[in-house]
Structure formats: C-alpha cells, structure tokens
Amino acid sequence: MATVYFTKDHEYVSVDGDIATVGITNHAQEALGDIVFVEVPETGRTFAKGDDAAVVESVKAASDVFAP
C-alpha cells in the first residue's frame, strides 16, 4: 500500500516500498489549464530533494516539478 505525501506547492510523492512516484495535484493541473507537453525522466533515475524531476508545459506556463 502506497503512502502519499503532499507539498505546499501542489506536488506529491507516492511511496510504495522502495519506489517513489512524483507528480502534481489535480489543483495544480487545473491551474495550469490545457497541458501541451510533459518532460519526464527515464525510469530508474534517482533524485535528491529539490532536484528538478520533470517539466510540465501548458498554454499558460511552463512549470518545473521538484523532487520533494
């Protein structure tokens, strides 16, 4: 069973064993509007807290997703 943690910046990390999945909340998705591009890292890549983990681009803005 995964445990989910949220940041004040509307990002989350879902931890299941030794696997962590990072993403943005529904609120962040709605605030961005139509998402036109997402840049994600290759599977298995590791990150330190605060590292850029992904980029989400919408018609309104481009946003970095940071490793919590």
pLDDT digits (tens, 9 = 90+) for 16-67: 998 888 889 999 999 999 999 999 999 888 889 899 989 999 999 999 998 8
Environment class of 28 (CB within 10 Å of its CB; exposed 0-12, middle 13-18, buried 19+):
middle
Q: What is the pLDDT of residue 58?
A: 95
Q: What is the pLDDT of residue 10?
A: 93
State whether CATH 2.30.30.110 applies to domain 3-66: no
Whether the CA torsion 34, 54, 45, 1 is positive or negative: it is: negative
For residue 68, name the pLDDT band (cuts at 50, 70, 90).
confident
N-terminal to C-terminal alpha carbon distance within the chain: 20
What pTM was estimated for this model as a whole? 0.76
- Residues 66, 53, 6, CA angle at the centre, nearest 5°? 40
Domain boundaries, the chain: 3-66
